[in-house]
Amino acid sequence: MEKFADNLRKRAEELGISNAEAARRAGLDERRYGNYITSRTEPDLATLVRIAEALKTTPDKLLGVGNQKTPRKGEMLSDRIASAVDALDNKDREVVATFADALLKLRAG
Domains of the chain with CATH codes? 2-108 (1.10.260.40)
Candidates 65, 23, 66; CA nearest to 47 is 23
pLDDT in tens, 80-95: 888 888 888 999 999 9
pTM higher than 0.85, yes or no? no
Q: What percent of the chain has pLDDT over 70?
A: 93
27 in Cβ contact with 87 (< 8 Å): no
Residue type, 63: L
38 in Cβ contact with 5 (< 8 Å): yes
